[in-house]
């Protein structure tokens, strides 16, 4: 039974016959044994696997290069190395998949522009692994927040014939013409990608009282900057019988709870952001989580 | 502070100065008082509000017709009526919004074809209220299921230049031409709506081990039947270092847990389905939840 690196690293005690699998970050060989850093994306950290020459599977050790995928079985023992509580003394190794000789993620820091070009490998880096784990935790926290408050999660239509308050330029839809007869139109009218689920959300709130949407939204503004995404996920709560105060209360509670979730979440991912991305991050998030929001009127 | 009808109906004790708000399902008047059934969509049931002639707001009672929205304040007292534990003895009423004279949801059963024509009011019916509350509970249970297992929730792209195993016909995208220069193309290549997040999901699984997607998916098959939806939400888990057995184990566990959640969920919504939609529903769901799934090979 495979265990995640996250489970193994946070183990309370030594254990025998543990199986992990993941991707080799680095390998160092000596004559008698090899060290392999194995990461499986379950957390930021990697497990150090010590493989003595001669164990089962060691014959493939030269193919276990950075990026290769392997399984390792062995005993979890206290690590003499610094910064890690446990390491694995392997009893067998298995090469699952090799990495190309020009595998691009070598042990050095890569810039985001370079990583954008290899988007399929990007989640294997420390930074993007942490980004996507954090995004996932936030998304799940959104559902927990509204679920605990009995808000009904509504999937509003993505394909729509509506516009929403002129919120933005819309993408249009075309249909493969060979599936339609002459003059036939798929939806019977022009269809677009939604710029907001608000209209449908409001009709649901006018029946179920409190609802929220959480889905993708699209804007066709031809402005390719970091502030204009053609596609993004948006959360829209709608409450019947509420007023502006209640709306602001919910918004503040929501932002605070999600922020607090990040501050109290896994320290490794958060530590990476506050160490390498933004040294003021913790201070700023604490301020959001702990200070009452100032409220100003529109004309202010 | 407004309380939901769900909270009030499941109250443990009588209470004074309770405020509820919702939509009038029916009203019956006598000379001395009126009965109003108020539903706010938080649960299937409605709260019976007894309003004596002469209380604050009673002057608007004639406008509190089926579909009108009202607020009621009063005391929660044991109900002498059958099938309800509590009713409200109102101390004041407030008409929030009136309903049109030809408001289409009168007190009788409406067929789904009729309701499809008034989709914005449909969630106010017993059936569709229960459907959308149940769908929401299921969607939230999906995130709970994978969250508890440390699967990372990934938002895979909706707009894509990929096809997926020829899974289906794809919708194409057009861009408002006035935002583009002559000969310019928005994405630099033809773009479509995704038929599956599998490709991106697999690249994430090859970095984070266990991931899932849960988002909208599109098929442009020109087949307008109940089996072909142009747009639907799909869940796709992807696991690295797993095999077919592990995959089947997860699928079975997933279906069982969600099914059990429905069986153990609110009895009112479930009761409506098993009473009015499908009398064999509970039996079928119990079978799914409790019996091991048979597993057959592809060629069988």
The answer to whether the Cβ–Cβ distance between B240 and A69 falls below 8 Å is yes
Same domain, A85 and A139: no
| pLDDT for the residue numbered B82 | 81
Same domain, B139 and B67: no
The residues, ordered by sequence, that sit 6+ positions from A94 with a Cβ below 8 Å of its Cβ are: A57, A70, A71, A72
Restricting to B residues 243-272, those with a Cβ less than 8 Å away from any Cβ of A are none
Same domain, A84 and A186: no
Restricting to B residues 41-100, those with a Cβ less than 8 Å away from any Cβ of A are 41-42, 69, 71, 96
pLDDT at A164 over 90: no
Residue of A215, A220, A255 lying closest to A232 (CA atoms) = A215
Q: What is the pTM of this model?
A: 0.94
Q: What average pLDDT does this structure show over A3-27?
A: 96
- What distances in angstroms separate CA B158 from CA A117, A128, B90, B198, one per listed residue? 19, 20, 50, 12
Restricting to B residues 137-176, those with a Cβ less than 8 Å away from any Cβ of A are 139-140, 143-144, 147, 150, 152-155, 157-159, 169-176
Q: What is the CATH number of the domain that holds A232?
A: 3.30.930.10
The answer to whether the Cβ–Cβ distance between A129 and B207 falls below 8 Å is yes
Q: Out of A35, A66, A97, pick the residue that ends a domain.
A: A97
| pLDDT for the residue numbered B222 | 76
Cα B110 to chain centroid distance, Å, stands at 19
The answer to the question of residue A14 being in a domain is yes
User: Alpha-carbon distance B140 to A212, whole Å?
Assistant: 12
Continuous segment of H or E residues that includes residue A198: helix A198-208
Tens-digit pLDDT profile for residues A256-278: 999 999 999 999 999 999 999 99
User: Alpha-carbon distance A146 to B152, whole Å?
Assistant: 20
| pLDDT for the residue numbered A223 | 75
Q: Out of B65, B97, B129, pick the residue that ends a domain.
A: B97
- Chain A residues inside the 8 Å CB shell of B47: none
Q: Residue A179 — pLDDT band, cuts 50, 70, 90? A: low
Residue-number span of the structural domain to which A69 is assigned:
5-97
Q: What is the CATH number of the domain that holds A60?
A: 2.40.50.140
The answer to the question of residue B258 being in a domain is yes
Number of domains comprising chain B: 2
Q: What are phi and psi of B28, to 5 degrees?
A: -125, 135
Complex-level ipTM beyond the 0.90 threshold? yes
Same domain, A23 and A149: no
| pLDDT for the residue numbered B14 | 95
| pLDDT for the residue numbered A178 | 65
The answer to the question of residue A108 being in a domain is no
Q: What average pLDDT does this structure show over A17-32?
A: 96
Q: What average pLDDT does this structure show over A109-121?
A: 91
pLDDT at A64 over 90: yes
The answer to the question of residue B108 being in a domain is no
Same domain, A195 and A256: yes
What's the angle, vertex CA B26, arms to CA B22 and CA B32, rounded to 5? 105
**Max Cα distance, chain B (Å):** 76
Same domain, A66 and A135: no
User: Alpha-carbon distance A194 to A192, whole Å?
Assistant: 6
Same domain, B129 and B222: yes
| pLDDT for the residue numbered A106 | 84
pLDDT above 70: percentage of residues in chain A: 96
Same domain, A129 and A262: yes
Residue of A51, A29, A52, A37 lying closest to A5 (CA atoms) = A37
Same domain, B90 and B227: no
Q: What are phi and psi of B124, to 5 degrees?
A: -85, -10
Q: Residue A189 — pLDDT band, cuts 50, 70, 90? A: confident
The answer to the question of residue A106 being in a domain is no
Same domain, B84 and B189: no
Q: Out of B62, B97, B132, pick the residue that ends a domain.
A: B97
The answer to the question of residue A84 being in a domain is yes
Nearest residue of chain B to residue A140 (CA atoms): B143
Same domain, B128 and B262: yes
Outline where DSSP puts E strands in B148-206: 152-153, 159-160, 172-174, 192-193
The answer to whether the Cβ–Cβ distance between A241 and B96 falls below 8 Å is yes
**Is A284 part of the contact surface with chain B (CB cutoff 8 Å)?**
no
Same domain, A143 and A44: no
CA distance A215 to chain B (A): 7
Task: Render each residue's pLDDT in chain B as its tens digit; 300 residues.
Answer: 899 999 999 999 999 999 999 999 999 999 999 999 999 999 999 999 999 999 999 999 999 999 999 999 999 999 988 888 999 999 999 999 999 999 999 877 888 899 999 999 999 999 999 999 999 999 999 999 999 999 999 999 999 987 655 667 889 998 876 666 666 778 888 899 999 999 999 999 999 999 999 999 999 887 777 778 999 999 999 999 999 999 999 999 999 999 999 999 999 999 999 999 999 999 999 999 999 999 999 898
The answer to the question of residue B104 being in a domain is no
The answer to the question of residue B300 being in a domain is no
């Amino acid at each position: 039974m495979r265990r995640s690196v996250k489970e193994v690293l946070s183990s309370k005690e030594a254990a025998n016959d543990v199986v992990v699998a993941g991707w080799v970050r680095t390998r160092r060989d000596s004559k008698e044994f090899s060290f392999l850093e194995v990461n499986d994306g379950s957390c930021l950290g990697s497990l150090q696997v010590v493989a003595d020459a001669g164990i089962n599977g060691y014959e493939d050790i030269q193919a276990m290069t950075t990026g290769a995928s392997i399984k390792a079985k062995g005993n979890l023992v206290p690590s003499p190395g610094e910064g890690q509580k446990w390491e694995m003394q392997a009893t067998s190794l298995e090469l699952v998949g090799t990495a190309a000789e020009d595998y691009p993620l070598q042990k050095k820091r890569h810039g985001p522009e370079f990583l954008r070009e290899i988007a399929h490998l990007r989640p294997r880096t420390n930074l993007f692994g942490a980004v996507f784990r954090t995004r996932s935790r936030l998304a799940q926290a959104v559902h927990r927040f509204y679920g605990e408050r009995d808000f009904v999660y509504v999937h509003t239509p993505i394909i729509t014939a509506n516009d929403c308050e002129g919120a933005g330029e819309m993408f249009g839809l075309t249909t493969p013409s060979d599936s339609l007869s002459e003059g036939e139109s798929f939806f019977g009218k022009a269809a677009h990608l939604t710029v907001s689920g608000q209209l449908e959300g409001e009709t649901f709130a006018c029946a179920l009282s409190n609802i929220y949407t959480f889905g993708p939204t699209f804007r066709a503004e031809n402005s390719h900057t970091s502030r204009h995404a053609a596609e993004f996920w948006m959360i829209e709560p709608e409450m019947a019988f509420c007023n502006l105060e209640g709306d602001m209360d919910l918004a503040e509670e929501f932002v605070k709870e999600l922020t607090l979730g990040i501050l109290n979440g896994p320290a490794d991912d958060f530590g990476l952001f506050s160490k390498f991305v933004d040294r003021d991050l913790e201070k700023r998030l604490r301020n959001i989580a702990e200070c009452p929001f100032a409220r100003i009127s529109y004309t202010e």
